[in-house]
Amino acid sequence: MLDIVIAHAVQGNPMGRLRKADEPAAIAAFLLSRKASFVTGADYAVDGGEAQL
């Protein structure tokens, strides 16, 4: 059953795979760093393009 759910999720993703845990974590680390000190009110979709469908 889990295999069916995963296959369905992968099929609906333009990148053809599920996200890795370090990918959303990398955005969080960036936003917490000094490199993001001038970032305000931004939305970051870490969904492999799913929101664009």
Mind listing the pLDDT tens digit for each residue in 6-49?
A: 999 899 899 999 999 999 999 999 999 999 999 998 899 898 88
* pLDDT above 70 as % of the chain: 98
Q: Grade residue 53 by pLDDT with cuts at 50, 70 and 90.
A: low
DSSP structure class, residue 51: G
What does the alpha-carbon distance between residue 32 and residue 3 come to, in Å, rounded to a whole number? Answer: 35
47: which 2 tokens?
Answer: 């969904």
Alpha-carbon distance values, 41 to 10, 19, 22, 34, 45 (Å): 30, 24, 23, 16, 13
For position 14, what pLDDT does the model report?
Answer: 92
Output the pTM of the full model.
0.68
Task: Count CB-CB contacts under 10 A for residue 32.
Answer: 9
